[in-house]
Structure 1
């Protein structure tokens, strides 16, 4: 099998062989032209002989022709060029073999990171994306390739984890409303003569269960979208967003006998996605309208403080125990007060995801029996660079008065 390593080694050796052959040929041609210079003039010179010590001496009064010297010179030149050809061919052959071995070794070292990337890719399966290449060494092209693949694996792992979590959450949470729908439909179908009131009751239960399923699916989709970096980055007027959400819930609050108070100071500008920010305020206000007792007040406010924009929703509902302040932001958290009926349990988890995606946070200030205040904090777009690194710890909206329901209220 002709691997890249083999082809690189042959290429290295062939290039080295070609360069060496060109150099040797050029040297041979130049030397050959130099040795075959202009011939000697045919003049008479003193004759020479070899003495007893093996040295050449000129015999006095003796002469011979220059042509004799030319014959000797030509023989020596021919022999020298022949030896040069032989040695050159031997050197080129040795150089070719050495280049092949050296090229094989160098290509092996150069392709070692590629082999590591290939081995890691083979070990990765669709159900296990935890392996990473983690290539060390200089910051060259192969290191950049490995880092890019690691980043891609991180995104794939996160996407698959989100997919598995959504499928698991959906299959778990949809079982209850589906069971309710099936039980009521089977109960109605089992009767020969269905009482209209029973049919109306079953229809109401089915509609309520399907509404719960719809809200659950919407929350799951919102949670999946928030888990992916697909936000639109633009200047958002937080007061306008809160005002629009309040308009949507004005009728629902009125139907439940609630007073919806607005304290929306103009000016807070946040960099982010207006739909996501509206979703966060919507989830908070939805919980407040759902949990607040009839006759109480729900307050929505926003403003700026120490370089941070904030939006708060305050209710006079049952409140939240201190040990649950952190757990309420986990997915499908069910409190001990029996207040989870009718919602998916994803709302506050989505609120936290949205806040953190906008470099902000969400805080809760609540005690049992005193209502709750949820505060969204975001960096102020217009604030200077030296703003406080963290939002203020206290609630910007003071707690409201304790709610004492009138006799018969909330029935």
Structure 2
């Protein structure tokens, strides 16, 4: 924003300090003058000691007092003016020193240096609260920018892989006319489907992070049943049993995004499971003013350190993934983004017997009605 140049805050504070000091001085001198006028007569009768009551002389005391008081009052006011300007300038500079450091840090941040911190020393006050809040904001921005750069690099790598495979298959088809066209087309179809899935996942992730959706009343138990029915053929194919339970669980949010959230969690629970005899359990409930969606699955033992990385984009957990469903590595990342967009919380917990438990807490959509239809 273009602004007209004006006096500095330090100069304005200096003038304010000096003006206040001058006003206090004027009021003090005025009070002294009024006191003197009240108790000093206009003329005084002077009688020499040891004499009779004969008048020695009558003098105008107030006029003499004014001649003596006025120049000294002016000198005091002049001294107060110099003291107010000099002391105010130094005092304003000392008071604004923290603001100068904050301004310098702001300039560095606007130039792209997010690693700089103010770290203002001293006891807590308004300036230090501002500096601490600014440092915290810089920390969040630095972490966000690092995440975005890492995400962009990973996304570019993931998108480049199917494109490179497609290019290689097309080169083979062009240079080798005897190559089986049907096989090449099938492989191209698979690679192209994977690229489309990845692109759609990236778009969904962006939409969730931007919170560009309308909020409606949603029953999480119905979404859990719908997601389970959709993925039931996949679960049966791999011998994974899926069980759902839960009463009416109202939440407030986007039905499409919350369905995608539930589907992602159930899909991950199916494909990241035991080779045989796996199980997935999906439950919904209302507890402590929050709508809960819990998806847990059997599987191998997971460490807390490993679990803490699973919500990062493109973290597939390849050692737990079935080879025919590698995914795009964005399932839990999308689930986390959708949860955050709904002001909720997603928690990953390793199960003692192996596998993973995912709990999503969402704001409820008002009081629970166990019979919404009637």
Taking structure 2 as the reference length, what is the TM-score of the superposition?
0.70
Aligned partners of 2:49 and 2:272: how far apart in 1?
Answer: 126
Compared CA separation, residues 135 and 231, structure 1 to 2 (3 A): farther
Residue 108 in structure 1 maps to residue 93 in structure 2:
yes
1:374: how far off?
4.3
Cα deviation, residue 114, structure 1 = 0.8
With over 3 angstroms needed to count, the CA separation of the structure-2 counterparts of 1:288 and 1:113, relative to structure 1, is: closer
Matched length: 350
Q: For 1:179, what is the secondary structure of its paired residue?
A: helix
CA contact under 8 A between 2:292 and 2:359: conserved in structure 1? yes
Contact 2:316 2:326 in 1 (8 A): no
* Superposition RMSD in Å: 4.8
Alignment partner of 1:347 is 2:331: yes
Decide whether aligned partners of structure 1 residues 81 and 364 sit closer, same or farther in structure 2, where only a CA change above 3 A counts.
closer
Question: Is the 2:273–2:355 Cα contact (8 Å) retained in structure 1?
Answer: no
Q: Is the 8 A contact 1:262 1:301 kept in 2?
A: yes
2:185 aligned with 1:203: yes
Q: How many angstroms does 1:88 deviate by?
A: 0.8
Answering whether residue 318 of structure 2 is matched by residue 335 of structure 1, we say yes
Partner residue of 1:404? Answer: none
Q: Distance in 2 between matches of 1:33 and 1:148?
A: 57
Q: Point out where structure 1 has 5 or more consecutive residues left out of the alignment.
A: 41-46, 49-54, 383-411
Residues 8-50 of structure 1: per-residue CA shift (max 9 Å, x gap) = 112211232244235435654775687673798xxxxxx97xx
Contact kept, 8 Å, 2:296 with 2:356, in 1: the verdict is yes
Give the alignment partner of residue 242 of structure 1, picking from 224, 244, 249. 224
User: What secondary structure is seen at the aligned counterpart in 2 of 1:214?
Assistant: helix
Q: Which runs of 5+ in 2 are unaligned?
A: 1-5, 365-374
For 1:324 and 1:292, how far apart are their aligned partners in 2? 17
CA pair 27-10 structure 1, distance change in 2 beyond 3 A: same
Q: What residue in structure 2 maps to residue 398 of structure 1?
A: none
Shift of 1:106: 2.5
Aligned equivalents of 2:274 and 2:52: distance in 1? 140
For residues 143 and 208 of structure 1, do their structure 2 counterparts lie closer, same or farther at Cα, with a shift above 3 Å needed? same
Query: What CA distance in whole angstroms lies between the structure 1 residues aligned with 2:186 and 2:112?
Result: 42
In structure 2, the CA distance between the partners of 1:108 and 1:208, relative to structure 1 (3 Å rule), is same
Who is 2:348 aligned against?
362
Output the CA distance in 2 between the equivalents of 1:322 and 1:293: 13
**Structure 1 residue 253 and structure 2 residue 234: aligned?**
yes
CA contact (8 A) 1:245 1:278 kept: yes
Larger Rg belongs to: 1
User: Alpha-carbon deviation of 1:165?
Assistant: 1.9
Task: Determine if contact 1:166/1:220 at 8 Å carries over to the other structure.
Answer: no
In the alignment, the residues of structure 1 paired with residue 89 and residue 225 of structure 2 have an alpha-carbon distance, to the nearest angstrom, of: 71
Deviations 1:122-146 (A, max 9, x none): 3435544233334465665434433
C-alpha distance in structure 1 between counterparts of 2:305 and 2:10, whole Å: 60
The one-character-per-residue Cα deviations of 1:378-405 (angstroms, maximum 9, x if unpaired) are 56989xxxxxxxxxxxxxxxxxxxxxxx
Q: Is the 8 A contact 2:246 2:285 kept in 1?
A: no
Deviations 1:216-237 (A, max 9, x none): 2344455567778999998754
CA contact (8 A) 1:314 1:373 kept: yes
Matched, 1:215 2:197: yes
CA distance in 2, matches of 1:29, 1:325: 81
Offset at 1:118? 1.6
Aligned to 2:246: 266
Q: Larger deviation: 9-18 or 319-328?
A: 319-328
1:5-404 aligned at under 5 Å gives the runs: 5-24=10-29, 27-28=32-33, 31=36, 37=42, 56-58=49-51, 69-70=57-58, 73-74=59-60, 77-124=62-109, 127-135=112-120, 140-190=125-175, 198=181, 200-221=182-203, 237-250=219-232, 253=234, 257=237, 263-267=243-247, 269=249, 273=253, 277-287=258-268, 300-302=281-283, 309=292, 311-312=294-295, 314=297, 320=300, 326=306, 329=310, 331-333=314-316, 335-336=318-319, 339=322, 342-351=326-335, 358-363=344-349, 374-378=356-360
C-alpha displacement of 1:84:
0.8
Contact 2:26 2:77 (C-alpha < 8 Å) held by counterparts: yes
Deviations 1:235-277 (A, max 9, x none): 7543212112123335x539x8567865322326376756555
Q: How much does 1:167 deviate?
A: 0.6
Question: Is the 2:119–2:135 Cα contact (8 Å) retained in structure 1?
Answer: yes
Cα distance in 2 between the residues matched to 1:244 and 1:365: 25
**Any conservation in 1 of the 2:42–2:62 contact (CA below 8 Å)?**
no
> After the TM superposition, which of the residue ranges 304-313 and 334-343 deviates more from structure 2?
304-313
